[in-house]
Chain A
Amino acid sequence: MAKKEVSNISGVLVKKEKEILDAWIKAQADLPAFQKGLITAKQLEEESSRFLKLLVKAVAGGNLEDITAPEYDEINKSLADLSTSRASIGFSPSETTNFILSLRQIFIRILQKEFDDRLDTLVNAGLVFADLLDKLAIVTFEAYVKGREEVIREQQKSMLELSTPVIQVWDEILILPLIGSVDSARAKQIMESLLESIVTTKSSMVIIDITGVPAVDTEVASRLLRTMQAARLMGAESILTGLSPQISQTIVHLGVDLSGFVTRASLRDGLELAFRKLKLKVTKAEG
């Protein structure tokens, strides 16, 4: 399209900034995201006004097409930050993208007033501007997804911390209840915290309970074997418990050799064995 028309559009945007901002804030206040109270009216106003200022600055040079150009750097970054922070306070993807998309109608109305006697210019301006907003909306969406991925990674880390406690149940007896899948990151953590606990508690028996492990494939088996071997080197004997009939059959089919280690069907049996090995006896109190 002609250069003159492009500068017309950016000119309108610069000239009508205040009018656009007011209409835009009003439109956003009606959206469900605002109604839910996820952000305050003041925040909404600040964010909208900052964004519009950056947009006006970016289009001032007449570039309404290439948002990878340097004049759009600031606006891209601010949009990405906004989306990430909105993702983390609970905005849905559509609510986040609506921040940009709600601007489209308002701008088209303004253009309509401005160019009502020149249909060609109006259509062209509308198309160019809608296209620009679409590109910016995609930026918000990509940033939103990245924000969510960050949340998921954080959650994974928290779960990792939660899921591998080493518990001292009696003098010299540790229990390591494994729940969920034993991936490489967890296996490393399990090994480290177990070996450390063996030293600090001066334990000689370690009960590893796999009742909550969904599948023992060769990878999991080899990690368990290594953990038990390492414990043995530190002077602690391991008892593997919680082998369900299904898991036992799987281990046999797989051909994993556990013959060098003591195993028991239940945690209860394992604990009883540990007591016996330490020459401890549990008896009912008199009276």
Chain B
Amino acid sequence: MAEIKKIKNREIILKIEEEYHVGVARRAAAEHARLMGFEEVRTTLIITAVSELARNILAHAGKGTVTFRGISTGEKRGLEIIFADRGPGLEDTARVFRDGYSTKDSLGIGLSGAKRMMDELEIESEPGKGTTIRVRKWL
């Protein structure tokens, strides 16, 4: 895969600590996606994935951050969004993608849903250290 470079001056970090921050992240996602030229359907998919993963931070870690950045490989441009927290982390990162798996009282389709809505999703997690999820959508 080609090297992914950051596009200059296109990075913002938002904190996720309270429920309304999810809305703030969602609006930032909408703005970034539209600015980069994503059309309505894919913008809505991005917004929903951000909503999903930002809520996950609140539900499992209590607080964390969301970073938005424009990225480029030279051939294609896209939007990368990073969700980071220092929460309890995950024992088994593969298991969380199975539909119906839930530690909380929820539908248990959030992470796999987010993966389907984005082009790429990478998860790094260590028990006790926290979780970082990177998602990308290419133009």
**Nearest-neighbor residue (CB-CB) of A252 within chain B:** B116
Within 8 A of B (CB), among A129-143: none
Write the nearest CB–CB distance from A149 to chain B, whole angstroms: 11
Q: Judge if B31 is at the interface, Cβ distance under 8 Å.
A: no
| B20:A214 contact, CB within 8 angstroms | no
Q: A217-B110, A218-B113 are in contact. Are A253 and B45 (CB under 8 A)?
A: yes
Contacts of A156 in B (CB 8 A): 20
| B116:A181 contact, CB within 8 angstroms | no
Instruction: Classify the secondary structure of B's interface with A.
Output: helix
| B44:A219 contact, CB within 8 angstroms | no
Q: Judge if B55 is at the interface, Cβ distance under 8 Å.
A: yes
Q: Judge if B119 is at the interface, Cβ distance under 8 Å.
A: no
| A253:B117 contact, CB within 8 angstroms | yes
| A254:B19 contact, CB within 8 angstroms | no
Q: Judge if A245 is at the interface, Cβ distance under 8 Å.
A: yes
Chain B positions within 8 Å of A, measured between CB atoms, are 19-20, 22-23, 26, 30, 40-41, 43-45, 47-48, 51-52, 55, 99, 106-107, 109-110, 112-113, 116-117
Contacts of B19 in A (CB 8 A): 183-185
List 27 A-B residue pairs with CB atoms under 8 Å apart, sorted by A's residue number: A181-B26, A183-B20, A183-B22, A214-B30, A215-B26, A215-B44, A215-B47, A217-B48, A217-B51, A217-B52, A217-B55, A218-B52, A219-B55, A219-B110, A222-B106, A246-B41, A246-B43, A250-B44, A250-B45, A253-B116, A254-B48, A254-B110, A255-B99, A255-B112, A255-B113, A256-B107, A256-B109
| A250:B55 contact, CB within 8 angstroms | no
Q: A217-B52, A219-B55, A250-B48 are in contact. Are A255 and B109 (CB under 8 A)?
A: yes
| B113:A249 contact, CB within 8 angstroms | no
What is the bound-complex CA distance between A222 and B55, given in angstroms?
13
5 tightest Cβ-Cβ pairs between the two chains A and B: A246-B44, A254-B113, A217-B51, A217-B52, A218-B110
Write the nearest CB–CB distance from A176 to chain B, whole angstroms: 20
**Nearest-neighbor residue (CB-CB) of B105 within chain A:** A222
Would you give the 0/1 interface string for A232-255, flagging 1 where the beta carbon is closer than 8 Å to chain B? 000000000000011101100111
Within 8 A of B (CB), among A246-269: 246-247, 249-250, 253-256
Contacts of B30 in A (CB 8 A): 214
Write the nearest CB–CB distance from A202 to chain B, whole angstroms: 32
Contacts of B51 in A (CB 8 A): 215, 217, 219-220
What is the bound-complex CA distance between A214 and B48, given in angstroms?
9
Contacts of B109 in A (CB 8 A): 218, 254-256
Contacts of B22 in A (CB 8 A): 181, 183
**Nearest-neighbor residue (CB-CB) of A254 within chain B:** B113
**Nearest-neighbor residue (CB-CB) of A181 within chain B:** B23
